Structure 1
Amino acid sequence: MSQEKTNFMIPLSFIGIMFFAIGFALGINSLLVPVLQGSLGISNAASYLIIAATFIPFLVFGYPAGLTIKAIGYKKTMSLSFFIFAAAFYLFILSANEKSFSLFLLASFVSGAANAYLQASVNPYITILGPLESAAKRISIMGICNKMAWPIPSIFIVWLLGKDVNLISIDDLEKPFLIIIAAFIVLGIMAFFAPLPEVKAAGEDESEDSADACPYAAGKTSVFQFPHLLLGCLALFLYVGVETVSLGTLVDYANSLGLEGAANYAWIAPIGIVIGYICGIIFIPKYISQATALKVCSWLAIIGSLLVVLTPSDISIYFISFMALGCSLMWPALWPLAMADLGKFTKAGSSLLIMAMFGGAVIPTLYGWLKDITGPQQAYWLCLPCFLFILYYGMAGYKIRTK
């Protein structure tokens, strides 16, 4: 690492708040999907376009976000993203007032753009803030902040309005969204003044010593010459999609099963993921490597997805937590494995990984389409082939760079 050894607790605390904000902004979809179905009378496939609109910006803005970071640094890019979030939630209010599904999609797109800039900032930052072999531990800590935030929007809005999810209409959203706008503006100001040192990966400096710091990248002329990165992008594409399905469909699935207090089921997947993150903090890298964690979690996710579709529907929803447990260490392991030895291409590689998060648009949309055809439970079959490819990457894909 090119940065001096310092106490990283303060930067970690601030980045943890930002990971929480990412989870909160994505978690709002868990509420919007059933609310829009009830208020606008749209199909399952159409309602899941809200999630797609949130993730399409990762493909569009992944590369521009990398250029922005290069121009103004990580910290100012983080600050910028929160102000974009505030604008997005103002658009949500306008969408509710106009009762326009098209405007809701636009608001979700703007929210996704903010998320793309924030993800492009915080993920490489936390990866290179310390030793690469312990990156999964740091990302696991951040992941707890992120995943515990996913259920908060649904529960907060249900509590604030005093209504269950199936009784909330888009006319009720203005008050809670105004509070959320104020929170994001405060976070933007806080991020701007946060004591976050600028960091660089080994070999990222354009200097004579960069080749010695990262010889694997020294002879490369393009970021597309790193096969372990490209396979990692595909694995991340699939992972983000299936994790979004596990986190973003719970309230809708509970509604489909006719379960009372559907918003409370939003906790099932985050609990499973947080358990996995805690294991990552304890075991990585002291007892197991990041690659081993990825293989173990892939097997857990495969078993969990089979249990979701093969068990009786009234208990199948609880096995989503097992699928989510498998998802837990995939993100912390995939990032450092895919970004290893990128040297001067670190920011470009990070941009590609951010673009790969477009999977959060494709896979949930496919789930919504399958739900209309096969029903909600059988639609979870979609997750199985995704987890099988991630298992391949954990067993062999990431090793290509060492051959």
Structure 2
Amino acid sequence: MSENKNYLVPITFLGLLFFSCGFALGINSLLVPVLQESLSVPSAGAYLLIGATFIPFLIFGYPAGQLVKLIGYKRTIAVAFLMFAISFGILIFSAKQESFVLFLVASFCCGTANAFLQTAINPYITILGPIDSAAKRISIMGICNKLAWPVSPLFITLVAGEHFTITQLDKPFYIIIAMFLGLGVLSLMAPLPEVKAAGEDESEESTSAEDAQVSQYANSKTSIFQFPHLMLGALAIFFYVGAETISLATLIDYAKALGLDNANNYSWITPLCISVGYVAGIILIPKYLSQTRALQICTGIAIVGTLCVVLLPGKLSVFSIGIIAVGCSLMWPAFWPLSMQDLGKFTKSGSSILTMGLIGGAAVTLLYGVFKDHFGPQNAYWICLPCFLYIAFFAFKGHKLR
């Protein structure tokens, strides 16, 4: 386990990285309605754009973990930003060709870059300090990530104009390419110390009883798949990412479907509500609230929020998505420490498994698009209920299984 040092500078830089992840994903919330209008793409097809962003997590989650093992966290982060720059170059070409298929390819490439970046930064922030306060650190990162979601649509609208077409996306995307290349260079120079989890370093003697205990438990395993709490945690992330992505990426589209004025303004509901939950986590964890209890409370809130969205009318339904957002807020910060605990030498491989769980952003979101086409935009949110019910199982039981 990393010693309890002053990691203010690394945490500040990591906050910038988490912001860039949210910024890249937030572009989809603008592209979905734009593609529906410009290319006459149905809802299921448009939300396939978001699905293409998450599919790479399943394909490249494990290779990304192996790259972290091979070249370390910092160089993996730099490689990820280079991938992002290339991906936005493909997006520019897609916009000029007005090709939905090319947009899917570009989204897949963006998702690949994000898979490598997430595989590096999530375990890093988890083990950067004491494991029982990991949710607090991840909550800080979460604020940076979620507030970036609505920033990217506003940035593109500011640069391309209020009523732009897909052929006018080249200017904002060129700026984004330059930004991501700069972040890649900056990451190589950033003061990010190499950190290891408890029991991860087999070449050194354990310096604490905790390290010795974790090493003994982890060394008794021969495969990463022998940690049931990790596998169940990856499945919890699958459902969580799917439900949270729906709450983040569908607000503009849902507000338009309900005929509400200035639909773009509703994109702030989810990020702001999630940030409220993150601030609560920063204040309460671990002094007043354990990571486990926070996850249990948030799961209940998310279930209530889902019922409100599907049962309440009009604006009340839209604003109820904010309740789901509050519930989602401390799920991600709790999943990582609860799922990665006691992995020892399997820590980096374990982070790969958890990263692969982000494929839920593709599967669940695509199902939402199908449900929307067949049952209407409001009833489509029923898809979130079984997701949160499984997370409730993990919160109360699954994370304890060894």
Instruction: Give the shorter-chain TM-score range.
Output: over 0.9
Alignment of 1:143-182 (within 5 A): 143-163=142-162, 167-182=163-178
Written as runs of structure 1 = structure 2, the 5 A alignment for 1:46-65 is: 46-65=45-64
**Residue identity opposite 1:212 in structure 2:** A
1:188 aligned onto 2:187:
no
CA distance in 2, matches of 1:41, 1:193: 45
Correspondence list, 1:299-378, <5 A: 299-378=300-379
Cα shift readout 1:159-184 (whole Å, capped 9, x = no counterpart)? 22331xxx432112111111111111
Report the TM-score when normalising by structure 2: 0.97
Are the aligned partners of 1:136 and 1:280 in contact in 2 as well (CA < 8 Å)? yes
The answer on whether the counterparts of 1:203 and 1:209 sit within 8 Å (CA) in structure 2 is no
Distance change >3 Å, CA 307–CA 5, structure 1 → 2: closer
Q: Could you report, residue by residue, the CA deviation over 1:236-257 in whole angstroms, capped at 9, with x for unpaired residues?
A: 1000000000001111111211
Q: Is the 8 A contact 1:241 1:362 kept in 2?
A: yes
Instruction: State the alpha-carbon separation in 1 of the partners of residues 120 and 213 from structure 2.
Output: 23
Equivalence for 2:247: 246
Distance 1:384 1:6 in 2: 41
TM-score normalised by the chain length of structure 1: 0.97
State whether residues 65 and 352 of structure 2, in contact with CA within 8 Å, keep that contact through their aligned partners in structure 1: yes
Residue 4 of structure 1: how far off its partner (Å): 4.4
State the one-letter code of the partner of 1:230: M
Whole-Å separation in 1 of the counterparts to 2:161 and 2:71: 43
Determine the structure 2 residue equivalent to 1:217.
218
- 2:32 aligns with 33
Structure 1 Cα separation of the partners of residues 133 and 177 of structure 2? 35
Aligned with 2:218: secondary structure? helix
Structure 2: any 5+ residue segments left out of the alignment? none
CA contact (8 A) 1:38 1:169 kept: no
| Matched residue SS, 2:401 | helix
Which of 201, 210, 214 in structure 2 is aligned with 1:205? 201
Question: Contact (CA 8 Å) 1:65, 1:116: kept in 2 or not?
Answer: yes
8 A Cα contact 1:88 1:108, kept in partner: yes
Q: What is the distance in 2 between the residues matched to 1:52 and 1:8?
A: 35
Distance in 2 (alpha carbons) for counterparts of 1:208 and 1:134: 25
- The Cα of 1:380 is off from its aligned counterpart by 0.1
Cα distance in 2, alignment partners of residues 255 and 270 from structure 1: 19
CA distance in 1 between counterparts of 2:5 and 2:386 reads 43
Q: Distance in 2 between matches of 1:389 and 1:336?
A: 18
Q: Is the 8 A contact 2:228 2:401 kept in 1?
A: yes
Aligned-partner Cα distance in 2 for 1:262–1:29: 15
> Is the contact made by 2:3 and 2:129 (CA closer than 8 Å) also made in structure 1?
no
Letter in 1 for 2:68: I
Q: Residue 8 of structure 2 corresponds to which residue in structure 1?
A: 9
CA contact (8 A) 2:27 2:153 kept: yes
| CA distance in 2 between partners of 1:19 and 1:213 (Å) | 32
* Residue segments in structure 1 that go unaligned for 5+ positions in a row: none
- How far did residue 207 of structure 1 move? 3.1
1:262 aligns with 2:258: no
Q: Deviations over 1:95-150 (max 9, x none)?
A: 00111111100100000011001000000000000000000000000000000000
1:87 and 1:254 map into 2 onto residues whose CA distance is 33
Deviation at 1:208? Answer: 6.5
Could you tell me the percent identity over the aligned residues? Answer: 60
Distance 2:353 2:368 in 1: 24
Give 3-state SS (helix, strand or coil) of 1:11's partner: helix
Q: Residues of 2 paired with 1:279 and 1:51: CA distance?
A: 29
2:81, 2:183 within 8 Å by CA — same for their partners in 1? yes
C-alpha spacing 1:212/1:314, structure 2 compared with 1 (3 Å): closer
Specify the SS of the correspondent of 1:184: helix
Distance in structure 1 (CA, Å) of the matches to 2:383 and 2:358: 17
Q: Report if aligned partners of 2:4, 2:130 keep a CA contact under 8 Å in 1.
A: no
Match of 1:73, SS state, is helix
AA aligned to 1:369 is V
State whether residues 233 and 353 of structure 1, in contact with CA within 8 Å, keep that contact through their aligned partners in structure 2.
yes
Q: Is the 8 A contact 2:5 2:129 kept in 1?
A: no
Letter in 1 for 2:370: W
